[in-house]
């Protein structure tokens, strides 16, 4: 049976939202920056949250409730052939907390941690927050595709960095690392007695026909030295409900999770735990339809750019609803998102925020209606090369 794509909410409904995406700018701006979806909540999630409100089930999270952890295990087994043990998982607020709290226990003050820019901007802040120092091993870019620079990671670890903060799938470029690459990475890290913290928040948004491989599933070495950050917040648009999972496959990393102060768990949100459970357990059809919508939107964006703004190049993703746009040919400077917002009234994410490799780029959120994409491209195309709007 063909998958029917999830339609976005109407603009009149979206404009009533007060989240960062819809509450930051005035109504004449199309917000296509922060990673929030314009799609309605999955019905099972909405139903469960309403039931919780009716029950007054608004207290603290229950750490012994296996619901969300078991639901993630079952989803991972069905989607990726990976069956992590819920007893080796921990609960917390969000993926950033998984990263920081893991790093705090894996490094000493001043230790280097490798990142692979262009990459999710908070990585530049989370490592210092944990007491470490950022070490860059940029992605290899041949002009048509990206890949991990394994030799660069090897050199960084040989020079003294202690581990790798892996973005998988990779934000903002939508790169899904293949199994062979991750296996090689695990052996490089093991050779240097290092670690990997794998941010896999976008993994459920991997496109149809593309295989996502969890880092902890690739080798014995990866299971020994890796810890994964998992969440339903991107897949099911739950960021404001505040729940993520630490996932481990070794005694070492399980002990790390069990050593966390109990407040790390209790800062998670009760609604987030409920929504995460319902997302992974009972919203897989909704997720499939949502991924179909995003894939259609990638095609639609590419067609719109070809027809109306051919100077802008879409670096096609294989996961996530985030489009990485090479806008350097427009002559709008290192940060074209500035002119996009000021002159076209389209809010994009700043390319240079993802690292110096993002100069001339911007990131566009495609978890929206095709009409929004059409309007955004037409607005961008109406800006002349100097950045002044055409009349």
pLDDT tens-digit readout, 128-160? 999 999 999 999 999 999 999 999 999 999 999
Alpha-carbon distance of 365 to 34, in angstroms, equals 7
| CA angle at 171 for the pair 170 and 177, rounded to the nearest 5° | 10
State the DSSP code for 389: B
Phi/psi class of residue 62: alpha, beta or left (left: φ > 0; alpha: ψ in -120 to 50)?
Answer: beta
Using alpha carbons, select from 288, 149, 328, 131 the residue that is nearest to residue 207: 288
| CA angle at 276 for the pair 274 and 277, rounded to the nearest 5° | 65
Task: Give the Å distances, CA to CA, from 25 to 60, 149, 252.
Answer: 33, 38, 46
Q: Which two tokens stand for residue 305?
A: 């750019």
- pLDDT tens across 183-229, in order? 999 999 999 999 999 999 999 999 999 999 999 999 999 999 999 99
Alpha-carbon distance of 137 to 150, in angstroms, equals 8
State the DSSP code for 358: G
Say yes or no to pLDDT of 309 above 50: yes
Q: Output the pLDDT for position 384.
A: 76
Q: How confident is the model at residue 390 (pLDDT cuts 50, 70, 90)?
A: very low
Q: How confident is the model at residue 1 (pLDDT cuts 50, 70, 90)?
A: low
Q: Once rounded to an integer, what is the mean pLDDT over residues 279-292?
A: 98
Q: Output the pLDDT for position 391.
A: 37
Phi/psi class of residue 256: alpha, beta or left (left: φ > 0; alpha: ψ in -120 to 50)?
Answer: alpha
* Three-state secondary structure call for residue 350: strand
- Cβ burial of 283 (10 Å; 0-12, 13-18, 19+) is buried
Using alpha carbons, select from 198, 237, 220, 201 the residue that is nearest to residue 113: 198
Q: Which two tokens stand for residue 230?
A: 């998992």
Say yes or no to pLDDT of 387 above 80: no
Q: How confident is the model at residue 3 (pLDDT cuts 50, 70, 90)?
A: confident
Handedness of CA 14, 15, 17, 23 (dihedral sign): positive
Alpha-carbon distance of 359 to 52, in angstroms, equals 46
* Three-state secondary structure call for residue 322: strand
């Amino acid at each position: 049976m063909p998958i029917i794509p999830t339609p976005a909410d109407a603009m009149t409904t979206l404009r009533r939202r007060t989240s960062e995406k819809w509450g930051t700018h005035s109504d004449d701006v199309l917000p296509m920056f922060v990673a929030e979806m314009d799609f309605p909540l999955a019905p099972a999630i909405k139903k469960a949250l309403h039931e919780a409100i009716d029950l007054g089930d608004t207290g603290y999270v229950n750490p012994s409730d296996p619901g969300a952890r078991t639901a993630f295990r079952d989803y991972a087994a069905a989607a990726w052939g990976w069956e992590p043990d819920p007893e080796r998982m921990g609960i917390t607020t969000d993926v950033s907390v998984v990263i920081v709290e893991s790093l705090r226990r894996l490094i000493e003050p001043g230790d280097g941690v490798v990142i692979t820019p262009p990459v999710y901007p908070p990585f530049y802040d989370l490592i210092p927050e944990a007491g470490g120092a950022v070490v860059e091993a940029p992605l290899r870019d041949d002009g048509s595709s990206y890949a991990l620079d394994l030799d660069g990671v090897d050199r960084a670890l040989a020079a003294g960095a202690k581990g790798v903060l892996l973005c998988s799938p990779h934000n903002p470029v939508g790169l899904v690392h293949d199994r062979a690459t991750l296996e090689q990475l695990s052996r490089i890290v093991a050779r240097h007695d290092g670690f990997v913290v794998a941010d896999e928040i976008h993994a459920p948004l991997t496109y149809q026909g593309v295989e996502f491989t969890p880092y902890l599933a690739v080798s014995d070495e990866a299971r020994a030295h890796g810890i994964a950050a998992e969440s339903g917040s991107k897949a099911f648009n739950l960021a404001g409900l505040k729940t993520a999972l630490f996932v481990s496959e070794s005694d070492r990393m399980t002990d790390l999770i069990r050593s966390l102060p109990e407040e790390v768990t209790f800062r998670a949100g009760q609604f987030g735990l409920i929504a995460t459970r319902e997302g992974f357990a009972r919203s897989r059809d909704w997720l499939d339809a949502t991924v179909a919508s995003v894939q259609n939107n990638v095609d639609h964006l590419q067609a719109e750019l070809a027809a109306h703004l051919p100077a802008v190049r879409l670096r096609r993703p294989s996961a996530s609803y985030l489009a990485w746009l090479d806008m350097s040919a427009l002559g709008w400077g290192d940060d074209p998102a500035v002119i996009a917002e000021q002159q076209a009234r389209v809010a994009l994410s700043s390319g240079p925020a993802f690292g110096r490799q993002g100069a001339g780029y911007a990131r566009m959120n495609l978890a929206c209606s095709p009409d929004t994409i059409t309007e955004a491209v037409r607005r961008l195309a109406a800006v002349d090369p100097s950045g002044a709007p055409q009349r």
